[in-house]
Amino acid sequence: MNARMKNPAMVLPDAMKGIQNLYKAMYQGGVPQELMELVHLRASQINGCSACVFAGVENAKKVGETDERLHAVAAWREAPFFTDAERAALALAESATRLADRTGQAVPDAVWDEAADHFDEQQLAAIILMIATTNFFNRLNATIQEPAGATWS
C-alpha cells in the first residue's frame, strides 16, 4: 500500500515547524510520556489511523510501555492495567475524539471533572493538545492513505 502523496506536513515545511513546537510544548506539560502515548494511541484507534496506531505503539514501547497495557488500550475500561488518572485521560481522549457522537456536551462534565481531579491545568493543556494533534494527524493520514510503518523522508 502506498500513500496517495507525501504527508502534507512534509510538503509544507513550515507546517512541520509548527507541529514540532506543539509537541515540544505538550511534552513540557508535566504528563508522563507513557500516558501521552496511551492518549495518542487511543485516539488513533478510534479514528482507525493505522499509521498513527503503529507509530503510537512503537513510541510507547520506546518510553517503556508494556505489551500487556498496549494490547488493552482499546478495552481500557475492562482491563485492570490502568490507574485512575490514566483512565480519566483515556476517557477524555475518547470524548474529545468522538465530538460528533453526542448531542449536547461533546465532553461531558463528568469526564472533564474526573480528568481535572487528576491533572492540573498545565497537564490538562498538554493532554488536550495531544488529543487535538493526534486527531489532526489521523485526518491527514486517512486522507492520503498513509500506510502503517511508513517513514517520512
pTM for the whole structure? 0.94
Rounded average pLDDT over 119-145: 97
Q: What is the mean pLDDT of residues 136-145?
A: 95
Instruction: Using alpha carbons, list the distances in angstroms from residue 15 to 20, 22, 137.
Output: 9, 11, 12
Instruction: Please indicate, yes or no, if residue 10 is contained in any of the structural domains.
Output: no
Q: Is residue 23 part of a domain?
A: no
**137: exposed, middle or buried (C-beta count within 10 Å: 0-12, 13-18, 19+)?**
buried
Q: Is residue 77 part of a domain?
A: yes
Query: In this structure, is residue 124 part of a structural domain?
Result: yes
- For residue range 58-105, list pLDDT tens digits in order: 999 999 999 999 999 999 999 999 999 999 999 999 999 999 888 888
CATH number, domain of 39, equals 1.20.1290.10
pLDDT > 70: percent of the chain:
98
Work out how many domains the chain is built from and give that number: 1
Q: Is residue 92 part of a domain?
A: yes
Range of the domain at 73: 31-143
List pLDDT tens digits, range 22-41: 999 999 999 999 999 999 99
Does a structural domain hold residue 43? yes
Between 110 and 149, whose confidence is greater?
110
Flag whether 22 is in a domain: no
pLDDT at 27: 94
Evaluate whether residue 9 is within a structural domain.
Answer: no
Whether the pLDDT of residue 142 is over 50: the answer is yes
Residue 88: the pLDDT is 98
* Closest C-alpha to 40, from 57, 24, 19, 25: 57
